[in-house]
Chains A and B, each alone.
Chain A
Amino acid sequence: MDDARLRQAGGREAALSSQCIAECTNPMGNPIMKSRSPAVLAAFAVTLLSSSAFAETTLTVYTSVEAVDLDRYKQTFEAANPDIKINWVRDSTGVMTAKLLAEKDNPQADVVWGVAATSLLLLKGEGMLEPYAPAGVEKLDQKFVDSANPPAWVGMDAYVAALCYNTVEAEKLGLTPPKSWADLTKPEYKGHVVMPNPNSSGTGFLDVSAWIQIMGEEAAWKYMDGLHENIAAYTHSGSKPCKMAASGETVIGVSFEFPGAKAKQGGAPIDIIFPSEGSGWEAEATAIIAGTANLEAAQKLVDWSISKEANEMYNVGYAVVAYPGVAKPIEHLPDDVASKMIKNDFEWAANNRAAILAEWAKRYDGKSEPKS
């Protein structure tokens, strides 16, 4: 959306309502007023209130939510908060994080809404987030709220690691479906597993950090040594392994549940498997950028972003949301996705990220020969 165009549109609305004020306060204009129904009058009152002192604010909101969801989120929010307009700036998580860090000394965003919590922790460590406890934050599942008080970020929903398993190709090759992470190291899957490279994908990192948290450091690296033998390719993005499984390019894609459900909807012959040891997960979260000129509007957005209404909106795509009791099952996904999630220590993950990634690259990135 074009910022200037938005502002222009906002100005036009304000001009219209001020024109109305002039007309309606005209003492000779009474008959018009009388003929109006109560609903129109109420609407008129709302217009008057919201346009008082041209209070409309445009917030620049950085986000990584799916492109399809952008318009829906914007419309739902703006319907509830007519005095605030959203100007989306969207890109994938990695690009968005790089952009935010690059703008450290000259922040352009007012709010980030829908960026991975791990990325927001990096920003927090740079002092880039404005701590704020939104109204009703106590109602959220606490694993979706930053540990500081007031919290620097609050969560919206989670994406959960899952395997996409192509049943047609598996049958051709005579494979049995894996049940656990440990199964993936079995020799039968050699060359049939694709996972995201943690050095370029947030999903890849959440897998690796979850394995270390579940198995302990030493066992996890040993596990990954074994897994590496079976990997056909490490991809740059987290959803690609699932889409590769969906198109039969690989049999097992280590990915997360959302693209799996979408691919299955599109007719792809895949099963979505949640490994028995539990899955790593990442929260999508909201935070205010320190130094914003529109703090009040930014706080209103964060307040709304954790409301029940907002969480119902997230639930359209995401099986797990931050507000307890809201989530309804998503087609093609089990009802209890939330129960597959491990206890994820975001702070530990953020603080050890650089070291884990370096170790991973040392072990697996240098071996360049692909396996057929």
Chain B
Amino acid sequence: MTALALPAGRAPRQSVSRDDLVKRGLMVAISLYLVLSLAAPLYVMLSKSLSTYRFDLTQFEFQVSDETATVWSKPKTAAALNAELSALAPEDLRAGSDSRLATTKFFKDFSFRSPVKYRMRGTVEDARWLVGSAPGGGTEWQEFDSNSFRRIMLRPTQSFGLDNFVAYFSTPSLSISIRNSALMATISTAITIAVAFGLAYALNRSRMSFKGLFRLVTVIPILVPSLLPGIALVYLFGNQGLLKPIMMGYSIYGPIGIVIGSVFFTLPHAFLIISTALSVADARHYEAATSLRASKWRTFWTVTVPGARFGLISAAFVVFTLVITDFGLPKVIGGQYNMLAVDIYKQVIGQQNFEMGAVVSVILLIPAIIAFAVDRIVQRRQVALLSARSVPYQPKPNRRFDMLCLAWCSVVAVFLVGIIGICQLAALVKLWPYDMSLSLKNYAFDLMDGGGWASYANSIRLALLTAFFGTIVVFTGAYMVEKTQGFSAGRSAFHFLAMLPMAVPGMVLGLAYIFFFNNPANPLSPIYGTMTILVICTVTHFYTVSHLTALTALKQMDAEFEPVAASLKQPFQKLFFRVTVPVCLPAILDISIYLFVNAMTTVSAVVFLYSTETQLASVAVLNMDDAGDIAPAAAMGMMIFYTNVVARLIHAGVSGLLLSRTQRWRDR
């Protein structure tokens, strides 16, 4: 009873140490980076998609004289004139930033030969029109003879609303892309998953030989821009292609090309995920199936596939997202088959219609976000397949089955190597198909569009800078979020920001950067057009996977390290540099090579952001192909491939060396 009389004490609160403050400060700094490089640009882009243009007919007022040009009619607004004539329906008044509307539409019996004169003025200050091509405006009456008056074009005014979306969905040539993109992504996903599953199954569940070789070959598509399979398909199945008869009269330009190319460039992603899922299995399940006399077929569907289901679902969503957001491949091989990502490029570069580009971007965000969300939910439901009592499954030799697996892997390997091989061949041929002699003239990049050899040097610079700064930012961020005590609101906010880039297609990110950084009011605008913005954009674009890699490595480290260091009165940075970084070195090296390779091959985000001084090799491939210089484009693509191969070899060498020196504790 007496206890009740005691006053309630202060709720216990963990005191915040200096280390925690530093960690939180760093976390806030990196969050701020992600906000500025991701959230803010996306927000600006969303608002841009709502910025509409419309002809406001009440803004313009007219007077008409009689034939002697002395007596003037009462002033009437264009809106009133339109109401009398019903010349234009409301949907005709919807406009783009570049639209013009001839004033003569409001005067039924207009003739440029008549002596009638016209006066016009704006009813508001910002009414704008063109006299021919010269800008005009203002609220003062201005007089024109009929021949000048026919050259007057009204300009639209800017407002805010959903008009752009209405216009998008009422223009079939635009909205058909949604269906096309979804269809291509679905078909490609189905095929890629099937192929990748076969490959992963062969490499994990058989005793075939050359497994290491096939694992190496599977990596190839990661090392090249997605444009390259498109170029290869032109040389293989185009009208002068080596294998044209196989096409039986169908054109490679369009859905067929998009699907084949998509399978090529998404295969390694699907393979890695499914292979991980298939690499662990509990032998007891198979023993049970055998003792229940289940057929091999039945075992496969009741044990193997369910065991790998999370991997399969995850792979399917990754592939779907990759295909629907990819820009390079449909740009090269898509022909007339409109796809969402290419539409953004066509709207912005072809028609300078930034608002419609933003609309398509918003639409492209939707499937990517859904795929991302579903993938997250599925992963959360995944349970450990291997318990402590599991017996690892060991495939038994089976000559027939192993030969079958070898055959399947060989088919896939021939496909992958063939695509790369044909590009190298095309790059070396003088004038396909009329002069098949070899020459190096396609490597004279300085004579082509796209920035020449300087763009190749720029790409390497971008890749090195991205790998260096990206690794530091990503790993520091991951450490702060993983090893900080308390501050859970901030940590989950950070985690959300770090996962967001996965759901943002490159084209969308690039366009958002134009809107955000190319705005004189933004104090950060000086970085527009520099290497800095390319590095920031690339780091942000590939943030999520790097972040997850770092988190995985950090989670493997016992949380006791920090308290122990604190109890020994060691500052956290000492622990970080003396223990955490060395232990996580393999992951850190993996992050840097991942960023390097992707910075070399990325096109989608940077295509809107490069400037004359910062042209990139991957963009040069795109631009040379665009100009019709396909062989030089293939040559540049192969330069990227070889550079990435060398980078990976160096990475392997350095990792091996460092690991043998810093990871000896693992062998204990």
Contacts and interface: CB of A to CB of B under 8 A. Distances in A.
A complexed with B: yes
Interface of A: 1-2, 66-68, 88-92, 94-95, 97-98, 101-103, 105-106, 121-122, 124-127, 146-148, 152, 168-169, 197, 199-201, 232-237, 239-244, 246-250, 259, 266-269, 346-347, 350-355, 357, 361-362, 365-372
Interface string B423-443: 000000011111100000000
Q: Which 7 A-B pairs have the closest CB atoms?
A: A243-B628, A200-B350, A240-B628, A366-B173, A365-B173, A106-B520, A370-B254
Contacts of B337: 368-370
Nearest to A67: B449
B132 A249 contact: no
Interface string B287-330: 00000000000000000000000000000000000000000000
B629 A243 contact: yes
B272 interface: no
Contacts of B173: 361-362, 365-366
Nearest to B447: A68
Interface stretch (B232-240, B487-495, B648-656): B232-240
B612 A236 contact: no
A147 B525 CA distance: 36
Nearest to B611: A89
14 contacts: A92-B623, A94-B349, A94-B352, A98-B354, A125-B155, A199-B346, A237-B628, A239-B627, A267-B435, A346-B133, A351-B153, A355-B99, A370-B251, A371-B251
B626 A121 contact: no
A89 to B, nearest CB: 4
A259 B628 CA distance: 10
Nearest to B337: A368
A370 B433 contact: no
A252 to B, nearest CB: 12
Contact of B628 (A147, A148, A152, A239): A239
Nearest to B238: A249
A370 B253 contact: yes
B-side interface size class: 35 or more
B75 to A, nearest CB: 25
B352 A98 contact: yes
A250 B335 CA distance: 13
Contact of B151 (A2, A97, A197, A347): A347
B351 A268 contact: no
B335 A370 contact: yes
A242 B337 CA distance: 21
B171 A125 contact: no
A372 B250 contact: yes
Interface in B120-170: 130, 132-135, 151, 153, 155
A281 B626 CA distance: 21
Nearest to A255: B628
B182 interface: no
A244 B253 CA distance: 13
Contacts of A269: 434
A236 B133 contact: no
Contact of B350 (A91, A121, A122, A201): A201
A368 B99 contact: no
A233 B336 contact: yes
Nearest to A95: B349
Nearest to A146: B133
A244 B431 CA distance: 12
Contact of A234 (B100, B151, B336, B630): B336
Contacts of A350: 133
Contacts of A362: 171-173
Most buried by B among A68, A91, A244, A355: A91
A98 B514 CA distance: 11
A95 B518 CA distance: 15
A233 B613 contact: no
B403 interface: no
B96 interface: yes
B560 interface: no
Contact of B98 (A122, A243, A249): A122
B176 interface: yes
A24 to B, nearest CB: 38
Given A102-B514, A201-B350, A243 B520 contact: no
B575 interface: no
B546 interface: no
A369 B626 CA distance: 21
B249 interface: yes
A168 B434 contact: yes
A89 B529 CA distance: 11
A235 B151 CA distance: 33
Most buried by B among A106, A242, A259: A106
Given A232-B253, A247-B432, A370-B253, 15 more contacts: A1-B613, A67-B446, A67-B450, A97-B352, A101-B352, A121-B133, A125-B135, A125-B155, A235-B628, A237-B627, A243-B629, A244-B628, A267-B431, A351-B130, A368-B176
Interface string B356-395: 0000000000000000000000000000000000000000
B612 A88 contact: yes
A122 B247 CA distance: 44
A111 to B, nearest CB: 15
Contacts of A250: 239
B335 A233 contact: yes
A125 B133 contact: yes
A259 to B, nearest CB: 7
Most buried by A among B250, B431, B630: B431
B554 to A, nearest CB: 41
Most buried by B among A250, A353, A372: A372
B338 interface: yes
A357 B100 CA distance: 13
Nearest to B430: A267
Nearest to B172: A366
